Amino acid sequence: MNYSDLADSAAETKEQLVTNLRRVVSDAEDLLAATAGQTDSKITELRARAKENLLVARERLADADAAMRERARRAAAVTDEYVHDHPWSSIGAAAAIGMLIGVLLGRR
C-alpha cells in the first residue's frame, strides 16, 4: 500500500466521520424538538447541555468541512501545476494506468 492509497483511505474515513457526525447532530436536533414541551428540571438541564454540545459540534463540523475543502483545492492546484509543468510524463503515466486497468479488466 502506497502513500496515495493511505491518503485516499484517510480521506474516505474522514468523510464517513463527517457524515456520521451530521447524522448525530440531526438526530439530536430532532430529540430536542420532540422534548420541547417537557418541563421536568432534569430534562430541561439535559436539553440545555445538548444545545451547547450541538453548537460546538456544528462549529467543528464546519471547520472540518472547510479544512477538507481547502486540502482538496490545494491538491487540485498542485496536480494542475505538475501536469502543466510535465505534460508528457503525465500523459505517459495516464496511458500506463489505462493499460494496466485494461489488462486487469480483460482478465475477468
- Angle, alpha carbons 53-59-63 (nearest 5°): 140
Residue type, 75: A
Residue 3 pLDDT grade (very low, low, confident, very high; cuts 50, 70, 90): very low
Of residues 69 and 16, more confidently modeled = 69
Residue type, 91: I
pTM strictly above 0.75: no
- Angle, alpha carbons 17-66-48 (nearest 5°): 65
99: containing domain:
3-106
Q: Which residue has the cell 502513500?
A: 3
- Angle, alpha carbons 96-97-102 (nearest 5°): 95
pLDDT at 52 (0 to 100): 82
Written as nine digits, the cell of 2 is 502506497
Q: How many domains does the chain have?
A: 1
